[in-house]
Amino acid sequence: MDSGNLKYQFARLSIAEKLIAVNVFVFIINGLFTFLMGMPSNSLIQWFELPKDFVDFISQPWSLVTYSFFHGGIWHLFWNMIMLYFTGRILLNLFSPKKFISIYFLGVILGGLVFLLSYNVFPAFLSTNAALIGASAGVTAVLIFVCAYIPNQEVRLFMFNIKLWYIGAFFVIVDLIQIPSGGNAGGHLAHLGGAFLGYVYARQLLKGQDIGEGFTKMIESIEGFFKKKEKKAPMKTVYRRAKGKNVSNANYDRESKQRKIDTILDKISKSGYESLSKSEKDFLFKAGKED
């Protein structure tokens, strides 16, 4: 498979699938590099993991985001990516990829901050040497967002139908129980930070307030800064007019599609996801894939 085809296949993936692909790629490269070079397994991770000490964090502030791309083992990666895949599909049926990115990475950031603050405030952790890795905080943010936004929507779990809010409550309770009894208190604290972000984001969005709007604009400005400006070749007048007509039609189609999406989202906020007809659910699903 040539590089052009790989780029094409990657471009076809949803934003959740792209995140999964990046996480898997990082896991493989990290494992191969350290093994082939005869280095300790944490040789690369230590530059990207989130340390517990503020002084160490200040020396590598990027770790507040990069820690989420590294995992402690194959099962750590596997369960995070499985959860991200299924919850990502539900979220992307409702909202755009940009909204997904905001929820996911704000969850990563808040989860990291909760870990950092907890290990410098609570006496139980002060003498503990720890660092945070894994995508769990971002994944939990996406999960709890979905559970809080459409809490009464039922999903098939094994042989039973269960409401989403039951699933969200279960994961939060498990994390709370495991903080004092488990061996990964920092990870569970980060999960709760992500869960808090997802819950607040969803509830505020139902009230018409997008708390991640500023973050989304920041991401867009960064993209615009790095995006190369394409040089346009001179065109003949006849071709330019024809193209202008197509652009106008395309803008009309986009606006019409967005109006329909807004109408469906308003319906969800008032009556819940389960109130949608099959055609409306199908339309949201297709719109999410196209975006």
Q: Give the separation between CA 145 and CA 197, rounded to whole angstroms.
A: 8
CA angle 144, 23, 281 (to 5 degrees): 45
* Tally of CB atoms within 10 A around 179: 17
Q: Give the separation between CA 125 and CA 133, rounded to whole angstroms.
A: 17
Q: What is the mean pLDDT of the chain?
A: 87
Tell me if the pTM is above 0.85. Answer: no
Q: Residue 163, SS3?
A: strand
Q: How do residues 165-219 score in pLDDT, each as one tens digit?
A: 999 999 999 999 999 987 899 999 999 999 999 999 999 999 999 999 999 999 8
pLDDT level of residue 290 (50, 70, 90 thresholds): low
Calculate the alpha carbon distances from 204 to 65, 165, 208, 212 in Å: 24, 17, 6, 10
Q: Give the separation between CA 62 and CA 196, rounded to whole angstroms.
A: 22
pLDDT level of residue 249 (50, 70, 90 thresholds): low
Q: Give the separation between CA 72 and CA 53, rounded to whole angstroms.
A: 20
CA angle 207, 213, 215 (to 5 degrees): 140
What count of Cα atoms within 13 Å lies in the side-chain half-sphere of residue 57?
18
Q: Give the separation between CA 116 and CA 255, rounded to whole angstroms.
A: 44
| Cβ contact 26:69 at 8 Å | yes
Calculate mean pLDDT across residues 214-228.
84
Which tokens belong to 8? Answer: 């094409």
Q: Which of 3-12, 78-87, 199-208, 261-270 has the lowest mean pLDDT?
A: 261-270
Q: How do residues 261-270 score in pLDDT, each as one tens digit?
A: 878 877 776 6
Residue 150's identity, in one-letter code, is I
The secondary element (H helix, E strand) that includes residue 132 is: strand 131-132
| Cβ contact 170:157 at 8 Å | no
Q: Does 255 have pLDDT greater than 60? A: yes
| Cβ contact 148:203 at 8 Å | yes
